[in-house]
Amino acid sequence: MATTGVLILLLLLGPTPFLAAADFCDNVKAVGAALSKNASSSPVNFATSTFGQAPDVVYALALCLGDGPVGSACGDCISNWFAQLNQTQCNKVGANYGGCIVVYGASADILAAPSNATGGYGDNTPPFQDWNIRNVTTGDVPRIVNLTRELLVGTAKMAATTTPKLYATGVMDMERVTTYPNVYSLAQCTPDLSADDCSACLRRLLGMVNSTMVLRMGGQMGVTRCYFRYEASHFYGAQPMLSLPSSPPGTTPTPTKRRSMLWVIPVAVVPLAAAAFFFFICYCRRLKRQRKGMLII
């Protein structure tokens, strides 16, 4: 799966009337400059912008991911993406899901608060997605899949309630229960969403993960308003905000094999002790009977 550089997805929102290339593209470039400036100065690295007059008006938003560039570097990520658009590309609805999310088009729906957090494109438009070419094929595959999903659900819940960025990362300690590597996750919404809308948007995305996708060793999926990613490697720089399965504060996780051995000890010792006690009782009774016989004689 491509994890470096810029990933570009070109989408069409239904029939789009012909737009004068020079006018619309000029407006796209102007929107890009505004987004770059405003997102770099935003405390949550998020901005929206509208530029131009109908029929060449451009609506756009930009968000730098929580693990991505901040400040001026966030602005550079946005402006660099717009700078590489050619004349043909800028006449289509565009989206970037690299270190910064950029979405623009000729529809005001991009900036409208999505009903039930449909994502801005609507229910009928497929989201951006990119999946690892490798599948989970070794170990307890059903358990690995279930634990990965548990991690994504937990990360999505945390992201929806972590203000102001609506961003969270997580890790599933697979090594406690399997031989599979630890799985890391990330989830984020645009910070103008409510907690409920963010949660609904991420749940909708997770609901699109089918039986084929769920076997992949990593993947990412996003729409205008929310995004998630997971990998069997630590793909973001900071420490995970969520760790599963959770441990009590101040405790150190115990490896599965060592914990299993601790259970083996009482299982083996208790029957031996019981048997020894039984033989001791029998020996005492036999000895007592022998002594009584000697006294009678």
Topology of 141-244 in CATH? Answer: Killer Toxin P4; Chain A (3.30.430)
DSSP symbol at 217: S
Contact between residue 151 and residue 244 where contact means Cβ atoms under 8 Å apart: yes
Sheet holding 58-64, edge to edge: 8-11, 93-97, 100-105, 58-64, 46-51
pLDDT of residue 22: 53
pLDDT over 70 percentage in the chain: 68
Rounded distance between C-alpha atoms, residue 269 and residue 262, angstroms: 11
Q: CB-based burial of residue 24 (10 Å sphere; 0-12 exposed, 13-18 middle, 19+ buried)?
A: buried
Task: Check if 8-112 and 141-244 are the same fold.
Answer: yes
- pLDDT tens by residue, 119-155: 444 444 578 899 999 999 988 899 999 999 999 999 9
- pLDDT tens by residue, 80-123: 888 888 777 776 666 666 788 888 888 887 887 665 544 444 44
- Phi first, then psi, for residue 149 (nearest 5°) are -65, -40
Whether the pLDDT of residue 57 is over 70: the answer is yes
Whether the pLDDT of residue 202 is over 80: the answer is yes
Between 9 and 183, name the one with better pLDDT. Answer: 183
Whether the pLDDT of residue 15 is over 80: the answer is no
Rounded distance between C-alpha atoms, residue 185 and residue 151, angstroms: 7
Comparing 172-186, 200-214, 277-291, the range with the smallest average pLDDT is 277-291
Contact partners, residue 142, CB within 8 Å, separation at least 6: none
Pick the CATH number of 8-112 from 3.30.420.40, 3.40.50.720, 3.30.430.20, 3.40.309.10: 3.30.430.20
b/e per residue, 141-174, with b = 16+ CB within 10 A?
eeebeebbeebbbbbbbbbbebeebbbbbbbbbb
Whether the pLDDT of residue 232 is over 50: the answer is yes
Whether the pLDDT of residue 3 is over 70: the answer is no
Contact between residue 77 and residue 98 where contact means Cβ atoms under 8 Å apart: yes
Rounded distance between C-alpha atoms, residue 224 and residue 97, angstroms: 10
For the chain, the domains span: 8-112, 141-244, 256-297
